[in-house]
Amino acid sequence: VSKASSLRAQLEHGLKEAIYNMFSWVRDQDHDLDGLMEEIDHLFLHSEGSL
């Protein structure tokens, strides 16, 4: 049970860090929201974990 709790905490931390990094990256872009959304769609559609 403690290993599962530790894994969950690690996953939550990793997810929060990834989201923070994504928003930091978005903030630093040239405000081309259409192009940005296309890039994000491409990342999700072509990732190894996509269904």
> Residue 16: what pLDDT?
93
> Residue 49: what pLDDT?
56
Domain assignment present for 16: yes
Residue 16: which domain range? 2-46
> Residue 13: what pLDDT?
93
Domain assignment present for 10: yes
> How many domains is the chain built from?
1
> Residue 51: what pLDDT?
46
Cα(49)–Cα(11) distance, integer angstroms = 16
Domain assignment present for 6: yes
1-51: pLDDT as tens digits: 788 889 999 999 999 999 888 888 877 876 677 777 787 788 888 766 544
Domain assignment present for 24: yes
Domain assignment present for 25: yes
Domain assignment present for 51: no
Contact assessment for residue 36 and residue 26, using Cβ atoms and an 8 Å cutoff: yes
